[in-house]
Amino acid sequence: MFDIIVWAGTALSLAGLAGLVWCILRVHKARRSGLSDEDLRAAVQAVLPWNLGALFLSVLGLMAVIVGISLG
């Protein structure tokens, strides 16, 4: 039973990590494209909610892993 919580938490953490990598690549691409300061700021601000969501998903997954290990 608790194995399911651990593996689901692992999947959530990996999904969050993939989202964080996507955010990093997106900002890196914007920086390399030579945008003006205002355009670069807009690009980073557009990625910020995705970054926070991916971080939150990763934290939830890690919490599920800890709960599953503690209770199992």
- Secondary structure (3-state) at 72: coil
pLDDT digits 0-9 by tens, 14-66? 999 999 999 999 999 999 998 899 999 999 999 999 999 999 999 999 999 99
The answer, yes or no, to whether residue 1 has pLDDT greater than 90, is no
Task: Give the predicted TM-score (pTM) of the model.
Answer: 0.87
Please return the burial class of 55, using the count of CB atoms within 10 Å of its CB with bins 0-12, 13-18 and 19+: middle
In angstroms, rounded to a whole number, what is the distance separating the alpha carbons of residues 62 and 54?
A: 12
pLDDT of residue 60: 97
In angstroms, rounded to a whole number, what is the distance separating the alpha carbons of residues 41 and 3?
A: 43
